[in-house]
Amino acid sequence: MSNPDEERADATYDRVSQDVPHARSDVAGLADQIINALNALAGAGKTRAQRSHDAAQGATATLEETLEDVVERRPLATVAVAFGLGLLIGATWRR
């Protein structure tokens, strides 16, 4: 005569043994999905960083052009402003 507890344990073991390959497959599929999601996020971050870099370069170029224009139009005023800033910075460092 077999023990009912042993039969249940054997049945449970058989079910778990059959489920393990499916669980491995599910975990592998989930890992692939996570990797794909992380790669997509990295790509989006890279694109966003490139756009920000391009915008900063454009702003810098615009600022440079504006300063060149001001220096060409008002050279004496530019020298006076630079001199005043130099005095201000010098006075600040002295303290």
Query: What are the pLDDT tens digits along the chain (95 aa)?
Result: 568 878 887 888 888 788 788 888 888 888 888 888 888 888 888 898 889 888 888 888 888 888 888 888 988 988 888 898 999 999 888 87
Closest CA to 61 of 50, 49, 53, 73: 53
- The predicted pLDDT at position 20 comes to 82
Site of tokens 């170029």 = 61
> What is the gyration radius of the CA atoms in the chain, in angstroms?
35
Tokens of residue 27, six digits: 């975990």
Residues 6+ apart with CB under 8 A from 71: 78
Tokens representing 60? 């810098």
Structure tokens at 69: 């224009």
Q: Give residue 77's domain range.
A: 4-94
Backbone angles phi, psi at 2, to 5 degrees: -100, 155
Total domain count, the chain = 1
